[in-house]
Amino acid sequence: MQVNTILETAANNGDAEDNLIDISIVIPLLDEEENIQPLVEALENALDNYDRTYEVIFVDDGSTDGTFTELKAAHEKNPHIKIIKFRKNFGQSASMKAGFDHAIGDIVISMDGDLQNDPADIPRLVEVLETEQCDVVCGWRADRKDPLSKTITSKFANLLRRSITSEFIHDSGCTLRAYRNECVKDLELYGEIHRYIPAMLLWKGYSIEEAKVKHHPRAHGVTKYNWKRVVKGFLDLIVISFWQKYSVRPIHVFGGAGLISSFAGVLLGGWLGIQRLFFGMSLSDRPLFLLAILLIMVGVQLIVSGILADIMLKIYYGGEGRKNYLVERLIE
């Protein structure tokens, strides 16, 4: 992924990397020209008098309107603002990943740039994060201001997600969340997988809480949510579910299914063989005989696929020093 970045601060603040930042706010943007100025004002109203140091990282995901121009103007006026500009549209998950990679705050806040999330909720999320001693706080838009069609689709998606991932939060579509910095540094985000970050972190052993947040109707611009994102999100959900359950030993799912298929094929073939040997029944016109052969072949292929997946997983974990565990604390 290629990006252009503006990571400057005012000269009297020095290098951003040398400053101690309490909160990093990551905001992906795509064609939100009219929302930039009111969003920056809302952020300033919520955070300038807050007793925490902060930075705001805007990620321009290949906007084709005046979004980047508005961001540069805001950057010149506010030393807390940083800008990451993509060369093209890579998607919201990639935008959030870029923002997380550049965030240096102890707490990382993600939120949308369409003014539907309220920056005034940020102190509340931080309070819950610290009071509950958890790793992640997910915003819950209990009173949504979206069109009915979008709300119904979202409720169905949430129900499907909870049934597949066993993750308990009410609103996976709410981008407004607070994370401890270490939670987001090893996330691999692509496609529409940002919706399932809580499920991914829960699988890794991080603790998650919820907090109700405000939600406003969209005042400017056009929603980027459409049926294509729904389909992509569902496919990513299947990947997440598989990765949660079988990422360490994929042979368990492939091999298990292969053994069942092969066993069924052997049983069916054995029964047909007994009929042929002892009762003289012909097998040439028996579709069940072809089914038995097919089940055995499919079973063998599934077992081989599981072995190959295990080999690829060993390469994945061993190639760049990745580990299949996370250490919370080490006492020596």
- Residue 322, domain member (yes or no): no
Print the SS3 string covering 114-177: CCCECHHHHHHHHHHHHHCCCCEEEEECCCCCCCHHHHHHHHHHHHHHHHHHCCCCCCCCCCCE
Whole-angstrom distance, CA of residue 287 vs CA of residue 279: 18
What's the domain range around 274? 251-316
Residues 6 or more apart in contact with residue 4 via CB below 8 angstroms = 84, 85, 86, 87
Q: Both 57 and 184 in a single domain? A: yes
Q: Write down which residue in 246, 268, 289 finishes a domain.
A: 246
The CATH number of the domain where 136 resides is what? 3.90.550.10
For residue 190, give the amino acid letter: Y
- Residue 332, domain member (yes or no): no
- Residue 164, domain member (yes or no): yes
The per-residue pLDDT for 324 is 59
- Residue 325, domain member (yes or no): no
Q: Both 174 and 285 in a single domain? A: no
Three-state secondary-structure class, residue 82 = strand
In this prediction, residue 332 has a pLDDT band, given cuts at 50, 70 and 90, of low
Q: Both 275 and 182 in a single domain? A: no
Q: Both 169 and 307 in a single domain? A: no
The per-residue pLDDT for 167 is 72
**Number of structural domains found in the chain:** 2
User: Quick check: 301 pLDDT over 90?
Assistant: yes
Q: Both 140 and 17 in a single domain? A: yes
- Residue 59, domain member (yes or no): yes
- Residue 291, domain member (yes or no): yes
In this prediction, residue 24 has a pLDDT band, given cuts at 50, 70 and 90, of very high
In this prediction, residue 278 has a pLDDT band, given cuts at 50, 70 and 90, of confident
Q: Both 209 and 268 in a single domain? A: no
The per-residue pLDDT for 128 is 96
In this prediction, residue 207 has a pLDDT band, given cuts at 50, 70 and 90, of very high
- Residue 183, domain member (yes or no): yes
**Integer CA distances (angstroms), 15 to 6, 62, 77, 103, in order:** 12, 27, 17, 14
- Residue 327, domain member (yes or no): no
CA contacts within 13 A on the Cβ side of 302? 18
In this prediction, residue 10 has a pLDDT band, given cuts at 50, 70 and 90, of very low
Q: What digits encode the pLDDT tens for the residues 111-152?
A: 999 999 999 999 999 999 999 999 999 999 888 777 666 667
The per-residue pLDDT for 9 is 41
Q: Give the residue among 112, 108, 109, 125 at the shortest CA–CA distance from 182.
A: 108
User: Quick check: 85 pLDDT over 60?
Assistant: yes
Average pLDDT, the chain: 83
Q: What digits encode the pLDDT tens for the residues 153-194?
A: 767 776 776 777 767 788 878 899 999 999 998 788 877 788
Q: Quickly tell me which residue has 């042979």 as its tokens.
A: 251
User: Quick check: 38 pLDDT over 80?
Assistant: yes
User: Quick check: 110 pLDDT over 80?
Assistant: yes
Q: Both 19 and 150 in a single domain? A: yes
Whole-angstrom distance, CA of residue 326 vs CA of residue 166: 20
The per-residue pLDDT for 268 is 93
User: Quick check: 11 pLDDT over 50?
Assistant: no
- Contact predicate 288/272, CB 8 Å: yes
